[in-house]
Chain A
Amino acid sequence: MPELAVDVTNLRRDFGKFTAVNNITFQVNRGEIFGFLGPNGAGKSTTIRMLCGLLKPSSGSGTVAGFDIMKESEKIKSRIGYMSQKFSLYQTLTVEENLNFYAGVYLMDSNLHAEKKRTYFAETVLGQLRDSLVADLPAGTRQLLALFCAIQHEPEIIFLDEPTAGVDPLSRRYFWEQINKLSDHGVTIFVTTHYLDEAEECNRIGMIFNGTLSAIGEPDELKRTRFTGRIYKFDSRDPWESADHLRGRADIDDVVLFGSELHVTLKPNANFDKITAAISAVDPTAQNITAIDPTLEDLFIALINEGQR
């Protein structure tokens, strides 16, 4: 197996006059969890579909699992698992029948399949639901079944396109435990998500905006090197008034409300003392002004604002 699960150069895809993916170049190491982040419509799904061999790039070159993305898409398909945003589970089949169906599609060895089912049924809620119709499953459980359908044949690389959208917090945690286990076994995970707390768990992340890759690296490293502002939070009895006053200032980038708490992002060259004084002047109820570390969400939003300027 090659050391690079994904290795692409100047990958590009046009739809008519619209460039969905604009010459992106990046690598994903074998066995790592790679988070692919970006706003709706940034080109995430288009990239995944090209990497999976489902969509031909307009130009560019590279390999997935060691095979040429332009010429060997069939070989790629047999080595990957792909869970799309609307993964096709059969609504009128039961949980077990769906697993059986996908095992057939991937020509799985029957012993291996029996073992996989035993594990899934023993470890998860699917055990009690094996004879339930998929149509009757709650959203989170359905996503879990879709994941198992996509990974039971033990692919080398798994592409997950927003696998946890609308899944409740505890199910999301369970889902990520599975992803971590797979990665421990050397499987490469390529995952998109809008929950940036999940992205914090990735080994590396790439951020794509308007078809262009604007950041790639480890989460902590990116926060350190790419987030140039500083963030302070404080409590207020009148957060709206405060936000209104602070939003107009030239030395402030962004003001976000969290209930009675405000998060204020300072521009890189802003003077903290001046801003503290300004906060106290416009909001006498302001309390506990403290510096906080930026989250990936803060970085994500800062990079987008940067791109729009």
Chain B
Amino acid sequence: MTAAISAQSLHRTFGETVALNNLTFSVPEASILAVVGPDGAGKTTLLRILAGILNADSGTVQISGDDYSHIFESKKADIGYMPQRFGLYEDLTVQENIDFFADLFSVKGEQRRTRVQRLLQFSRMDPFTDRLAGKLSGGMKQKLGLACALIHNPKILLLDEPTNGVDPVSRREFWRLLYDLNRDGTTIVISSSYMDEAERASRFLLLHKGNIITEGEPAQIRANFHQAVYELTPEDARVAKEKLNSDSPFLSISLFGKSLHIAANREMQLERVTEAISSKGVSVESLREIIPSFEDIYIGLSQEH
């Protein structure tokens, strides 16, 4: 199968800063790739290069097997891109914004009528067509942004942190829209600072200072993760964390609500883990090994780099 996107040795610098350091990866057709990483990791730069609005210093991008440098404008139209601050016109209505993007991409006639209708229904924006974009709530703005990015029916959708500041209900709805699109064959690349969104994607790419720390399917990434993670629910998690932190044999101790996640080398025997915890005066009664979440993996891999 041809990959929807295939990047070879992508390199990009800004002055002395290396934003992307020789990245090679590919995104299979009809998959959802979550790009995750701290501030300044290179997420936005990567998406802008994939969208064809920023050039790499070196390296190549292929879209459905064709080299980017040979892609004619018609092929670029296969890509929909929603930047972090999407350029909606706040003093235009929902309908006018969609019309504007339809004009921009020369979507005309009957096709335009049906597509606009479908997008309005699918984003549940149809009751609000006359509302000014500036008067929409955060979640609705993002849905309108998505509708505008979809007006030309792209095969590949690039979304740069589309759910920042969006409430949980709208976020769930947004993801339902993404799954519907994906089911119809759209390939999606989405950057996010929400780890639960990384769990929802079919592939995961962790960027750190322009380098790929890990990349692949969730199951594969979990299997390759070389830390064991234990959950402990002590009476007072913060006090216990304090105690365990001093002179700790563990790789990291993180607060998850009222529990602690304790990461240790896989080689460390359960017996020694138990011993190390109880020697600090913390009860091990609730200790159990868990399947690491993406947040655990993120913490583990980020701290190594």
Q: A120 to B202: give the CA distance in the assembly, Å.
A: 40
* Contact of B137 with A by CB under 8 A: yes
Contacts of B40 in A (CB 8 A): 138
* Contact of B130 with A by CB under 8 A: no
Q: Which of A132-183 contact B (CB under 8 A)?
A: 138-141, 162, 165-173, 176, 180
* Residue contact B200 to A39, C-beta cutoff 8 Å: no
Contacts of B179 in A (CB 8 A): 240, 257
Contacts known (A168-B193, A170-B302, A259-B200); A38 close to B167, Cβ less than 8 A: yes
What total of chain A residues lie within 8 Å of the partner, measured CB to CB? 38
Contacts of A171 in B (CB 8 A): 38-39
Interface 0/1 of A270-309, CB less than 8 Å to B: 0000000000000000000000000001001100100000
Contacts known (A180-B238, A200-B258); A39 close to B193, Cβ less than 8 A: no
Q: A140 to B161: give the CA distance in the assembly, Å.
A: 14
Contacts known (A41-B137, A169-B295, A259-B199); A200 close to B169, Cβ less than 8 A: no
The residue from B138, B176, B183, B194 contacting A195, defined by CB atoms under 8 A apart: B194
* Contact of B49 with A by CB under 8 A: no
* Residue contact B254 to A173, C-beta cutoff 8 Å: yes
What total of chain B residues lie within 8 Å of the partner, measured CB to CB? 41
* Contact of A196 with B by CB under 8 A: yes
Which residue of chain B has its CB nearest to the CB of A167? B193
Closest chain A CB from B113 CB (angstroms)? 27
Closest chain A CB from B127 CB (angstroms)? 14
Contacts known (A169-B195, A170-B299, A304-B169); A40 close to B138, Cβ less than 8 A: yes
* Residue contact B257 to A40, C-beta cutoff 8 Å: no
Contacts known (A140-B39, A168-B193, A173-B255); A39 close to B169, Cβ less than 8 A: yes
Q: A139 to B40: give the CA distance in the assembly, Å.
A: 9
* Contact of B170 with A by CB under 8 A: yes
* Residue contact A165 to B167, C-beta cutoff 8 Å: no
* Contact of A220 with B by CB under 8 A: yes
Q: A253 to B256: give the CA distance in the assembly, Å.
A: 27
User: Total number of A-B contacts with CB less than 8 angstroms?
Assistant: 94
Contacts known (A166-B164, A169-B193, A170-B38); A197 close to B256, Cβ less than 8 A: yes
Q: Which of B246-305 contact A (CB under 8 A)?
A: 254-258, 295, 298-299, 302
Which residue of chain A has its CB nearest to the CB of B41? A168
Closest chain B CB from A216 CB (angstroms)? 18
Q: A166 to B168: give the CA distance in the assembly, Å.
A: 14
Contacts known (A39-B139, A40-B137); A259 close to B258, Cβ less than 8 A: no
Which residue of chain A has its CB nearest to the CB of B141? A40
* Residue contact A259 to B137, C-beta cutoff 8 Å: no
The residue from A40, A85, A176, A258 contacting B167, defined by CB atoms under 8 A apart: A40
* Contact of B75 with A by CB under 8 A: no
* Residue contact B170 to A301, C-beta cutoff 8 Å: no
Contacts of A54 in B (CB 8 A): none
* Contact of A68 with B by CB under 8 A: no
Contacts of B145 in A (CB 8 A): none
* Contact of A194 with B by CB under 8 A: yes
Closest chain B CB from A124 CB (angstroms)? 13
Closest chain B CB from A244 CB (angstroms)? 10
8 residue pairs of the A-B complex, CB under 8 angstroms, read: A40-B165, A40-B170, A171-B39, A180-B238, A197-B256, A200-B257, A258-B196, A301-B168
A168-B38, A168-B193 given; name 8 further pairs at CB < 8 Å.
A39-B137, A138-B38, A138-B39, A168-B37, A171-B39, A195-B194, A258-B199, A259-B201
* Nearest 4 A/B pairs, CB to CB: A138-B39, A200-B257, A40-B137, A41-B137
